[in-house]
Each structure stands twice: as structure tokens, then as C-alpha cells.
Amino acid sequence: MPALGIVAGGAVLWVFYFILRLVYPPGMGFGDVKLAGVLGLYLGYLGWAHVFAGTFAAFLFGGLWSLGVLAARRGTLKSSIPFGPFMLAGAAAAMFALPT
């Protein structure tokens, strides 16, 4: 049933990012939490593999970008980066890389 996957995907990602926000508020903005819910709705429609792959890819892309910033000495471990673009890139990667 696609409707259940849509709602569950949105809820799971929203709760996951909300917990991240509760644990360390400076590390995750509430805009990221809201975006996670929307991306979860879409990826949930495609399937659970897309939800997990999109989330993993977002953290992978964000981590690689952060390593590049550190290696180029453009920031420190305390520097903040916007995470929304990496969430969108992760969702797009999951959408295009995995079969539906």
C-alpha cells in the first residue's frame, strides 16, 4: 500500500532528524527537520531502500564536503555548514541510483 509507505517514510525521517535536533540543537536546524519530513514522504513512496539510501547519502555527502573544507583549511571542526543541500542531493542520488 503506497499511502502507508509515504506516511511512514515521512514520519520516520522527521522523527530521526528531530531526535538529532534534540540531542545537539546547534548541529541541526529545524528547517532540516521539516525538509526531512518532506523528503521522507517522497522517498517513502519509492520504498524503504530509497529512504535509507537517501539518508545515508546525505550524511556521506555532508561528511565528504566537511572533510574537504577541513583539508583546505577553510573551516574548523566547529564550523557550520548548511545540511539541506546534502539532504536534497542524497534524495536525488537515491532516486536515480536505485530501481523503483
Quick: pLDDT tens for 71-81: 999 999 999 99
By the 10 Å C-beta count (0-12 exposed, 13-18 middle, 19+ buried), 91 is classed as buried
pLDDT at residue 22, rounded to an integer: 97
Helix axis angle, 48-71 to 30-46, nearest 10°? 140
Residue 76 CA, distance from chain mean position: 22
pLDDT at residue 1, rounded to an integer: 63
Q: Which residues are CB-contacts of 65 (< 8 A; sequence separation ≥ 6)?
A: 81, 86
pLDDT beneath 50, residues of the chain: none
Coil, strand or helix at 28: coil
Separation between Cα atoms, residue 5 and residue 27, nearest integer Å = 28
